[in-house]
Amino acid sequence: MLPEVTCTWQLRLISNSLYRRALNVTQAPIASSLPMAVLPFLTTYALYNVAVSLPLLSDDLNCGPCAMVRGALIGVVSGGLYPTLLALPVNLGLASRYNTAPMPQKGNMLRYWVDLSRPIFRKMRPVFLLQAVFGTYLGSRHFEAFTKLTQITSSHGENLKG
């Protein structure tokens, strides 16, 4: 089962669109959108498998709330924060290349990034919350499924012995 099935790639493209509008970038829409759709999905899939699915399968994670918190953190970090932070350098590079927005002096780049990102992060708060809800839901569903799987396999093993 793929993590974040309910969280579609459209949610990940929101931050890219917000940065494109803030920097007046109209060129290369596919070049900036493709990494926003593919890289966060692959990262989320890998992190979810390592932090939730594999520990559940190996019986290292026996706590339902722990699985839900791990799912929520993975949803927020790799489904919300990572695409937002990834969209910034991609779109700043495009804005610099096509001269669509004034670039700051070399010493003021970090301050420019913060000033540019602050309103975008405010607009992305509902997306982060949605990612946390989806991650929590998926963590709880996986925990329930693996608990049932453990019960079925242990009762099936007892039936074979007796």
**Domain range summary for the chain, segments of one domain joined by +:** 9-155
Query: What is the pLDDT of the chain when averaged over all its residues?
Result: 87
The band of 158, judged by pLDDT with boundaries at 50, 70 and 90, is low
Query: How many CA atoms lie less than 13 Å away from 154 in the CB half-sphere?
Result: 7
d(CA 43, CA 50): 11
Residues 6+ apart with CB under 8 A from 68: 135, 136, 139, 140, 143
d(CA 68, CA 65): 5
Residues 29-55 have a mean pLDDT of: 89
d(CA 103, CA 89): 13
Residues 6+ apart with CB under 8 A from 100: 23, 24, 25, 26, 27, 94
Q: Provide the pLDDT for residue 112.
A: 94
Residues 36-60 have a mean pLDDT of: 90
57 has pLDDT over 60: yes
The band of 160, judged by pLDDT with boundaries at 50, 70 and 90, is low
Q: Provide the pLDDT for residue 34.
A: 85
Q: Provide the pLDDT for residue 38.
A: 85
Is the pTM value of this prediction over 0.95? no
Q: What angle do CA 57, 131, 123 make, to 5 degrees?
A: 160
Residues 126-140 have a mean pLDDT of: 93
Check residues 49 and 161 and name the one with the higher pLDDT: 49
45, 71, 114 from 53: Cα distances, Å: 10, 10, 35
Q: Provide the pLDDT for residue 13.
A: 83
The band of 32, judged by pLDDT with boundaries at 50, 70 and 90, is confident
Q: Which residue has the tokens 């722990």?
A: 66
Share of the chain above pLDDT 70, in %: 89
Check residues 101 and 11 and name the one with the higher pLDDT: 101
63 near 42, Cβ under 8 Å? no
